[in-house]
Amino acid sequence: MFTRINITGKVYWIGVNDRKKHLFENIWPLPDGVAYNSYIIVDEKTAIVDTIESFGAGTSYLHRIEQHLEGRPLNYLIINHMELDHSGEVKTIIEKYPDVKIIGNSTTFKILAAYFGITENLLNTSEIGDTLDLGYHKLKFVMTPWIHWPETMMTYDTTDNILFSADAFGSFGTLDGGIFDDEINFEAYYEDNMRRYFSNIVGKYCNMTQKALKKLDGVPVNYICSTHGPVWRKNPEKVIELYDKWSCYEAESGVAIMYASMYGNTEAMADYIARRIAEEGIKEIRIFDVSKTHISYLISEIWKYKAVILGSCAYNGEMYPLMEQFCREMEHMSVKNKLLGLFGSYSWSGGGVKNLLKFAENIGWEQVADAIEVYGIPTDEKYTQCDALAKAMAGKLK
Ligand SMILES: Cc1cc2nc3c(=O)[nH]c(=O)nc-3n(C[C@H](O)[C@H](O)[C@H](O)COP(=O)(O)O)c2cc1C
Ligand SMILES: [Fe+2]
Ligand SMILES: [Fe+2]
């Protein structure tokens, strides 16, 4: 039987779940899958807001569009974001509805031509005037570049205060029955998925997220329809608050200890420092081996906790390659506002801590104590330095 999932007014969810893909953007793990949300507005005029990734769900997606339209033409296809996880079915929609007008901005259309060779039936938002009148719903288009590509915009319905926000307010994780925020256990399943999505995908563009949030300031929003993850209708303020907090680098009072170790000396210090911090009364402490935990999760932990303690053994004159990859990513994302501690073991002429110190200088995080560099196995003297680091870090967090 055909189920309609009404958001409000004449707006319906027609998204799909992707449980096949292992890596989003071919890099970020998807143990819980991902949803590509698409929306159809069946008003006096009809419109689709964003499509889905082309991964084999296209036939059922098109079929659902037909069911909603009941023989009527599709008037508009609004492209908020051109990334392939949302533009994957643009071409099939145009083939099926050749008269559809595609709504986007100049940058959208450049990318649309480059990927699909589509150059006709385009309606630039700059030509639309104040609102696009669909009948009951009236749409405004707001540029929100770099969340997550330069062309990205949001569509806002002034009748029911619906924000079609593209990737902003999105999350990893499929929609398993529950689609709306009041139908799911957000804390149990989505919060970690959402922070990981935010940090991995949008984290580099925190300042642009802040700019977009400023544009939204004072605008009534009753529904948030992102392109990934739940639709917010009961408590949209919650997801706005989360994105605001994360894009300001506001984090919990806890410590993420991340280490690289081949023979256990650097690892031993990680455990020792963690124990000492716990003795100082800090409860939120997590230790990660960078060789085991995928960088996607390490990045997410950085957004979770205020304090970061990094340990690396030396490796061919450098820090350990996987730690180096992580540090490079932190610099590339220009993550701000962290408390930092450093440690590591070596047995030739070093390289691990030396390069972690260069990283610390480049990124500008507040180093709370001297770095602990150990020749071979840590001595009592070195463990005393670990005590000092733990005490200083706990002191800053309390
Ligand atoms: C492939 C390889 C490369 C290494 N490169 C360096 C190096 O450039 N400088 C150094 O001082 N030690 C180097 N070492 C020695 C390790 O850093 C040293 O054994 C250290 O104590 C290992 O710490 P861990 O027990 O935490 O793995 C290297 C060891 C290996 C196996
Ligand atoms: Fe995107
Ligand atoms: Fe996306």
Phi-psi region of 140 (alpha: psi -120 to 50; beta: other; left: phi over 0): beta
Q: Ligand 1 pocket, 201 CB below 6 A? A: no
Cβ count within 10 A of residue 340: 20
Distance CA 354, CA 90 (A): 50
For ligand 1, whether the C-beta of 262 sits within 6 Å is yes
The CA angle 290-148-219, to the nearest 5 degrees, is 125
Beta bridge partners of 164: 155, 225
Residue type, 186: F
pLDDT digits (tens, 9 = 90+) for 333-372: 999 999 999 999 999 999 999 999 999 999 999 999 999 9
Question: What is the CA(335)–ligand 1 centre distance, in A?
Answer: 28
Q: Tell me the C-alpha to C-alpha distance, in Å, between residue 213 and each of 127, 142, 206, 216, 320.
A: 25, 12, 10, 5, 38
Domains of the chain: 6-247 (3.60.15.10), 252-397 (3.40.50.360)
> Which residues, listed in sequence order, are joined to residue 232 by a DSSP beta bridge?
224
Q: Which helix (H) or strand (E) holds 45?
A: none
Distance CA 85, CA 193 (A): 17
Q: Does any ligand 1 atom lie closer than 6 A to the CB of residue 59?
A: no
DSSP character string of 228-247: SSPBBSS-HHHHHHHHHHHH
pLDDT value for 1: 75
**Residue of 258, 262, 349 best suited for mutating to test ligand 1, as the one with most atoms within 8 Å of CB:** 262
Q: Shortest CA distance to 19 belongs to which of 45, 63, 55, 49?
A: 55
Tell me the two tokens of residue 362. Answer: 């480049």
Looking at residues 13-29, what average pLDDT do you find?
98
What global pTM score does this model have?
0.96
Pocket test for ligand 1, best of 291, 315, 372 (most atoms within 8 A of CB): 315
Geometric angle at alpha carbon 266, from 386 and 286, rounded to 5°: 75
Taking residues 79-84, report their average pLDDT: 98
Please tell me the distance from the alpha carbon of residue 164 to that of residue 4, in angstroms, as a whole number.
19
Q: Tell me: the pLDDT tens digits for 45-71?
A: 999 999 999 999 888 999 999 999 999
Count Cβ neighbours within 10 Å for each residue of 198-210 and write b for 16 or more, e otherwise: bbbbbbbbbebbe
Output the six-digit token pair for 138. 């009236």
pLDDT in tens, 201-249: 999 999 999 999 999 999 999 999 999 999 999 999 999 999 999 999 9
